[in-house]
Structure 1
Amino acid sequence: MKKLILMTAFAVTFLSCKSTSVTNTKLDNKTERMIKGNFVVSSVDYPGSEYIKVNAFQLADSQCFVGSTWKFVSNNNKGEMALTKSGCPAFSSPITWFVNKDGQFVLKVLDAGEKAKKVRDGYVLNISNATESSFQLVDRIDVGGKMTDVVYQFTKVN
């Protein structure tokens, strides 16, 4: 009987804890609708970019993302991205994404035919300066013990 009471108390305590995961917050549908469509990364900037290489999204050097094309579909939070810069690895993939109420852009890069719920790894970036024609994704990275912003500038294409 003591074990049953103890297990019940543990279960109540465990289940009553509220998750603070970025994936459990409400969506910012207004921002999502604002950034729907086709975009190109027009620049990638961060302090020391001429000396320091950043491996973006575990795919390629961040400068390889300049000129990359992105498609964002807001009604189902899916899309596509492709790296196309000369001298960089060619890559294209379906993506899933959403913007939460905290202004965070949550991204998963999928393998062909893979469902998003099977992908455990994703990326959380801050979104800023969102308009119908452009926005920025900001990644925070550690460079020599100092947190640095990597800013991806997205510009809408027709």
Structure 2
Amino acid sequence: MKKGIFICLIAVMFFACKSASSTSSTDTTLSKKLDRPTQVALKGNWVLTNVSYPGSDYIKVNSFDLADSKCFIGSTWSFISNNNKGSMALTSPSCTGFSSPIVWSINNQGMFILKILDAGEKAKKVRDGYLLKVAGVTESSFQLIDNINVGGQVKDVVYQFQRAN
């Protein structure tokens, strides 16, 4: 009997000390508590107007595992805050076109959680996504900031959004 209780205590401690998921996993408890006011502020249609790499203007970035970051300039994004769905479309004439439904949210730590869905795919089936910091939110603009590793150094990739007319 004592041995059974001891095993149960060890099992409880093991599961209670489980390490946090990696930042690429979007099925974490981070997405359970949301920053609703910021989500409502982002509701609507947006155009990604610039991509920059402060202090590292000569790097090439493959954004969201889809295309060169410069291909995202001019892309259109739609965010629906009441159901955390939306869409994005790459429209640059010098790049391959791409469009996809998305699922997004902003957790209470200011992290933008993004899942890019394939046609007909349900968001709950997509385990991986992207975590970006939300910054500079105004009525007409905001930024998403990604961190990438370049030669062992962490660099920012800043995506600048403007509200579409």
Q: TM-score, normalised on structure 2?
A: 0.88
Cα RMSD (Å) of the superposition? 1.8
Letter in 1 for 2:164: V
Q: Structure 2 CA distance, aligned partners of 1:7 and 1:89?
A: 57
What SS does the aligned partner of 2:71 have? helix
2:44 match: 37
1:145 maps to which of 144, 152, 158? 152
Shift of 1:15: 4.0
Q: 2:7 aligns to what? A: 7
**Cα pair 2:46 2:78 within 8 Å, conserved:** yes
Q: Is the 8 A contact 2:56 2:155 kept in 1?
A: no
1:66 corresponds, among 65, 73, 79, to 73
- Show the counterpart of 1:101: 108
Partner of 1:24: 29
Question: Percent of aligned pairs with the same residue?
Answer: 61
1:47-58 alignment runs, 5 A limit:
47-49=55-57, 51-58=58-65
Q: Distance in 1 between matches of 2:17 and 2:88?
A: 37
In structure 1, give the amino acid aligned to 2:79: F
Q: Which moved more, 1:4-13 or 1:60-69?
A: 4-13
Unaligned runs of 5+ in 1: none
Residues in 2 aligned to 1:84 and 1:7: alpha-carbon distance in whole angstroms: 58
Q: Deviation at 1:112?
A: 0.9
- Matches of 1:2 and 1:114, distance apart in 2: 49
Structure 2 distance, partners of 1:36, 1:6, is: 52
| AA partner of residue 14 (structure 1) | F
Aligned partners of 2:10 and 2:124: how far apart in 1? 29
In structure 2, C-alpha distance between the alignment counterparts of 1:7 and 1:91, rounded to whole Å: 53
Count of aligned positions: 157
125-134 or 67-76: which moved more? Answer: 125-134
The match for 2:124 is: 117
